[in-house]
Structure 1
Amino acid sequence: MEQRQPLTVKALTKYIKLKFDYDKNLQHLLLKGELSNVKRHSRGHLYFTLKDDEAQINAVMFASAASHLEFVPTEGMQVIVKGHITVYEAGGTYSLYVKEMTEDGIGNLYVAYTQLKERLATEGLFDARFKQKIPDYPQAVGVITSPTGAAIRDIISTIKRRFPMVTIYVYPALVQGEQAEASIISCIKQANAMNLVDTLIVGRGGGSIEDLWAFNKEGVARAIFESKIPIISAVGHETDFTIADFVADHRAPTPTGAAELAVPNLPDVLKHLNQLNARLNHNFNLQFKQKKDYLTQLCNHYIMKNPAALFEQRLMYVDQLSEKLNYVLQDQLTRNQTKWWTLHHRLLQLDPKASVDQAKQSLLLQDQTLRQLMLQHLSQSKQDYTVLLTKLELLNPLSILKKGYTVLTNDKDEMVTTVQDISVGQDLLISLDDGRVRASVKEIETSES
C-alpha cells in the first residue's frame, strides 16, 4: 500500500520497536559472545558490547539483574546471556537487554593479552629498576597520539594551562587499526632520533579492547622499553590497562592525567619559589645577624683592646715550643749517640782485623810455648840419650876389649863362652880392640884338670 502522508521519526521508531517487541524470536534469546567495553554505572546498571569475530551488539543489564551476578564481568570475558532485543526510541538504536549472564571462558584477545604480559614480565620489561625519572621541569614535551582526537586537545590545553613556557612537539600517529602499531613505533624512534624533548606522552582516549589493541602489541612495548626519553603512558580511561602501561616509565589514568604528570603547575612552582625565596631571605638575615654578633664579640674582646697581649702569649707559646723542640732534639741526639756507640762496639767486636790480630797474637804465644816445650823435650831427650848411651856403653861387650879382653867366636860367628863349645883342631876368631886373629885349637884344658 502506497504511503501518502510522511511519518514522524517518533512514529517510525515506535513502529520498529513494536516489530521487535512482537517478534518471538527476539524476545527469548540465548547468545554467546565476548564482553567488550564493559562499564558499570553508578546506579548499578551494566553497559557493554557483546561480540564475536564478525559482528557486535550493544547490550545493557539493569541493576536488578546485575546485582545477582556471581562474578565480575571484565573485558575479554566469554559469556552466555539470556535476554531480548528492543529499540530505545529516544536514541533510535536497538540493544540487547540482558536478564541472565554466565561465564563461558576468556576471549581470544584477552588470552593473547595475558600471555604477552606474562612473557614480557618474565623478561624484566616491567621491572622498576629500568624505569626512568620524569623531569621535574621539562623544557619540551613530545606527544604521540592521533592529531585529531580529543586526547591531543586535552593534553595541549592542560600543559598550556599548567606550564605555558614549555614547548610541545606533536608526533602524529595512528592509534587504532592494523597500521597503528608501526605508526606508534615509528614516532617513538623519531622522537628519540631528533632528541628535542625531555618527556614523551604516548596514548589515546578510551575505547573497547579492540580500539586499544595497538598498545597491547609487543613491538610497541619494546619500543617504549628501548626509548632513551622517559615515557608516560596515557591509554584509555582510568580502568583500562594495556601492555604499554606496564612497560612505560610512568602510567597516567587519562591523557589529561599524563599532561599533569609531564609538567608542573606554574602557580605551584611560583608558590614554591616564593617559599624558597622567603626561606633564603630568612637564612641570609639569620646568617648576617650571627656574623654581625660574632664580629661585635670580637671587637669587644680584651685581645682586640690589648693586641700586645696576644703577641706576648704567642711569644710564650713559641718559647715553649722551642724548649720542647730543643729537649726532644737533645734527647734524640743522646739516644742516637748511645745507639751509635753500641753499634760501634759491636762492630769492633765483629771486625775481622781485630779477630786476625787476636788470632795472630794467640798463634805467636802458642809458637813460643811450642818452641820452649820442644827445647825442653830436646834437652830432656839429650839427657836421656846420654844416660842410655852411657849404660849401653857400659853394657857393650866390645868396650871390654879396650881393657885387654878378647871375644872368641867360632866359624859360624857364634860367641864361644865355654870350652865345651870347641874342639881340638877347630878354627876360632879372636876379636881384639884393634882387630881380629884367627887361630886353631891344639889343646883344650878345663878348670877341672
Structure 2
Amino acid sequence: MSSSVALLVGGVVGLVVGVLVATLLRRPRRPDLEQSAPSDGAAPEAVLSRRLLDLIDPAVVLIDPDDVVLVANPAARSLGIVRDTRLLVPELLELARAVRDGGRRRAEVSLPGSVVGGGPRQVGVLGVRLERGSDPAAGPVALVLQDVTEARRVEAVRRDFVANVGHELKTPVGALSLLAEAIEDAADDPETVRRFATRMTHEADRLARLVRELIDLSRLQGGEPLPELVPVEVDTVIAEAVDRTKLAASAKQIAIVTGGEGGLVVRGVEYQLATAVTNLLANAVAYSPEHTRIAVSARARAGFVEITVTDNGIGIPREDRSRVFERFYRVDQSRASRTGGTGLGLAIVKHVATNHGGSVSVWSEEGLGSTFTLRIPLAAGADTPATPGPAGDAPAEHDLAGGPPAADAPKGRS
C-alpha cells in the first residue's frame, strides 16, 4: 500500500478500534445485533460510538475466531463483501487469519465486480486484533477497508502521462540536436544550412506547441480553478476557430464552410471553447486530402448547443474510435509525425467539454470522413428553436461524403 493510503487507513483505525471496544466488547453480542439500534438502556457513549461507526466512510468489519461477522457497518455492506454473518471475499478471510496469528497486517485486496456490483474495486485493508484475555487469537479481528480504486487509477494515469511526455519531448529535442550538428558540419554550404534551419524551425514549433498544449491540459484537469462561466456567443467561438485554422486550410486548398443556427448562447469560457473548436478544425485539416471541404455548424437541441465539425478525411477505424480522446493516442503514428500532431488536441477538447458540463463524440467511417460533435449546455433563458431536431441521438444526414454529420450543414463554400 502506498504511504498516503496507509496513513489514511491508519488514521481512522484508532478511532474505529476505540468505537468497537466501547460498543461491542463490553458484553457478549449476538451476530445479528449489529443490525439493530442500541437499546434504550445502553450507555450514552455506546450509542454515540455506534452511530459514529455507522457514519464513517471506511468500511469496518468485526469477525470472531470462527470467521463469523459480528459487526459490519453500512459502508461494508454497501461494498457487498458481507452477506448475513459471512464474509464473502476469501482474501479478507485469509488476512483475518494472518492477523490472529501474527498481529496487525496491511494489504491491498482486489474486490471482484461480481461481489461489489459494477467494476472491480481495489481496497486498502488494515487488520488488527482486539485481544481478550490471555489468548490473543481468541479475540475478534477488526478489518478497516478504504476504497483506493480511484487513487490507483490516478497513479497509473500519472505514470503513463510522465512516460508519454518524456517520449514526446525526446523526438523534437533529439531532432533539434541532430540538425544543429548538421548545420555546424555544413557551415560552408549556405543552401544546406537554409534547409536544415527550416527543419529546425519546424521542430521548434512542434516543441512549442507540445509545451503549450501540456500547459492547457494541466489547467483543464484541475491545476487551476475553472474561470467563472459567462454567456458566450457560439457564432463568435466558431468565427475565432475558423480564423485560427484558415492559414493551414488554405495551404491544402481546403474550404471551411460555416452554417447552422445563428445567435446561440452558452455559458462558458470563451477562449476554452474557441480552443476546443480550433482543435477539432485543425484535426480535420490535418487528416483531410487537398481540395476538399470542412463544414462547421451549430444548432440547439435538448438544452444543449451542438457544434459539429465534418470532414472528407481518411476516417477512423472502428477499433480506434473509443480511444481518440485519450492523451497522446494517435490512430496513425507515421502520419502524425508528418503533420506534427502532439496527440493532445482531442484530449483538450474532451476536458473543455467536461468542464462545461457537456460532452464530445465522434462518428466516422474509413474513407468517408468524420464528424465530431461538441455539446455544451445552453445558457439559462436562451431561446431554443420551435422545430425539434431529428429524433434520437444519431448524427443527422451527411451532406459532404456520404455519412452523418450535423443537421443544417451548409451547402455552399466559404
Q: In which range does the TM-score fall when normalised by the shorter chain? A: under 0.3
Q: Work out which structure has the larger RCO, using CA pairs closer than 8 Å and 6 or more positions apart in sequence.
A: 2
Structure (1 or 2) with the larger CA radius of gyration = 1
- Give the TM-score normalised by the residue count of structure 2: 0.21
